[in-house]
Amino acid sequence: MSAHPVDEKLPALRMATTGLQHVAAMYAGVVAPPLIVGAAIGLSGTELTFLTGACLFTAGLATFLQTLGIWKIGARLPFVNGVTFAGVAPMTAVVAATDDKSDALPIIFGAVIVAGLLGFIAAPFFSKMVRFFPPVVTGTVITLIGVSLLPVAFGWAQGPNPAADDYGSSTYLTLAAVTLLLVLLLRRFTRGFVKQIAVLLGLVGGTLIAVPFGVTDFGPVTDAAVVGFPTPFHFGAPQFQIAAIVSMCVVMVVSMTESTADMLALGEIVDRPADEKTIAAGLRADTLGSALSPVFNGFMCSAFAQNIGLVAMTRIRSRYVVAAGGGFLVLMGLCPMAASLIAVVPRPVLGGAGVVLFGSVAASGIQTLVRAGLEKDNNVLIVAVSLAIGIIPISAPEFYHAFPETARIVLDSGISTGCVVAVVLNLVFNHLGRQRDAQDVTHPMEAGEELSGSPHPAPATP
């Protein structure tokens, strides 16, 4: 009896090349969070290289857990794991609230460890509670993730130093615009593998164009060692602060929700539907990988949706191919020189690519919301209020200035507050007292009118 395509082992050369393709598809997504957090802390080029390498290394370990699995850990699907974008905004909020920036990473690491362990314990129970996280909740949260990160891209586009006289100069903005144009042209006029790595190629092209302008620094590469290891707790022993832990636990819920949705989608693509047992095992891999990641100076790990698209496009469904990609990630993490390459990319170039990268995250959220049943007034209100509250830290950064610093770590993360509000409102409107829903109107402002123009209200969505 032949093996299921998911369990098929391809020839070594094909497995290596297709594994590299998965790495190329998710590389920019893995290195962006450490770049954002490291820049917020003010890490040197050497330390930033170390942090980036650590995140590549831990992403590889988490991918091993997910694809190969041990015991009841791992979905054993072609699932790539890496640093989740959902944690970026809360982590930068922790940095902003920490007076001594050298304590920021230990506080973040401590919070991620606790959130990961709690998530591991909760995984089998969470897999039974998926109905409380419908598209109206997950779509809102994913949209907030992208919207919250876009200001980071705009800041990068203006230059490396906000205090410098040339910050926001026409040179920097032009480099960002050229990089964005390169990515768009590659996405429009190429196919297959080249199209899949358009963001990566845009970063390379933008960096080369920036060389004559004197804004490309090759110092991090020349200073980096060829071989290295992410020393455990390189930035200090983990510290445990309640506010940071609460914030990262919210991110863990978001991450588990996204991973569950991704597993369901991937199961359909590879013809091995993800049941409750598979989801629980996959969530254990996510959470255990997240709990172990800070030991090696990495951040919270989660599934990478862009790689699911790659599986669908190539129809290569073997989990061992993705495991090979995880092996490349580990090797890159053990080679500081390879990890330092991203540090060469000028900030304006990163900004141009970031517009596409972060904007795509927001677009994914909007795609999810399209399936959320927004013809129902309940869901419109959930999205409207959750997005409004989630955008407060972006549109009015000083809104919570009178609150204690510990509370602001949570409140200043629009993703965290938006997620909590969306979950609570979904419970109130779509789960409590559902027998009354048949009498509800379908537009929050105009009683008795359907958004679709239908004379009869549609049934409520769970």
pLDDT tens by residue, 43-97: 887 788 889 889 999 999 999 999 998 888 988 988 888 888 778 878 888 888 8
pLDDT for residue 285 is more than 90: yes
The Cα–Cα gap between 380 and 376 comes to 6
Please report whether residue 249 resides in a domain.
yes
278 located within any domain: yes
220/379 Cα distance (integer angstroms): 49
pLDDT band at residue 458 under the 50/70/90 scheme: very low
Tens digits of residue pLDDT in 234-263: 999 999 998 889 888 888 887 887 788 778
Q: Any idea which of 21-35, 47-61, 80-94, 196-210 has the lowest mean pLDDT?
A: 21-35
HSE value, Cβ hemisphere, 13 Å, CA-based, for 418: 32
| DSSP bridge partners of 302 | 82
Is residue 453 one of the residues assigned to a domain? no
Q: Is residue 446 part of a domain?
A: no
Q: Is 5 exposed, middle or buried (0-12, 13-18, 19+ CB in 10 A)?
A: middle
Q: SS3 letters for the chain?
A: CCCCHHHCCCCHHHHHHHHHHHHHHHHHHHHHHHHHHHHHHCCCHHHHHHHHHHHHHHHHHHHHHHHCCECCECCCCCCCEEECHHHHHHHHHHHHHCCCHHHHHHHHHHHHHHHHHHHHHHHHHHCCCHHHCCHHHHHHHHHHHHHHHHHHHHHHHCCCCCCCCCCCCHHHHHHHHHHHHHHHHHHHHCCHHHHHCHHHHHHHHHHHHHHHHCCCCCHHHHHCCCCCCCCCCCCCCCCCCHHHHHHHHHHHHHHHHHHHHHHHHHHHHCCCCCCHHHHHHHHHHHHHHHHHHHHHCCCCEEECHHHHHHHHHHCCCCHHHHHHHHHHHHHHHCCHHHHHHHHHCCHHHHHHHHHHHHHHHHHHHHHHHHCCCCCCHHHHHHHHHHHHHHHHHHHCCCCCCCCCHHHHHHHCCHHHHHHHHHHHHHHHHHCCCHHHHHHCCCCCCCCCCCCCCCCCCCCCCC
Place of tokens 């791992």: 74
Q: Give domain status of residue 74, yes or no.
A: yes
Query: What letter represents residue 250's amino acid?
Result: V
With beta carbons less than 8 A apart as the criterion, state whether 80 and 299 touch.
Answer: no
Q: What is the pLDDT of residue 137?
A: 84
- Position 132 in a domain: yes
Determine the Cα–Cα distance for residues 380 and 369; give it in Å rounded to an integer: 10
User: Model confidence at 196, in pLDDT bands (50, 70, 90)?
Assistant: low
Q: Which domain holds residue 24?
A: 8-437
The residue type at 426: N
Residue 462 confidence (pLDDT) above 70: no
Q: What average pLDDT does the segment 2-10 reach?
A: 80
In a domain, 72, yes or no: yes
Model-level pTM greater than 0.75?
A: no
pLDDT of 177 reads 95
In a domain, 450, yes or no: no
Q: For the chain, what is the domain count?
A: 1
Using the predicted structure, report yes or no on whether residue 295 has a pLDDT greater than 60.
Answer: yes
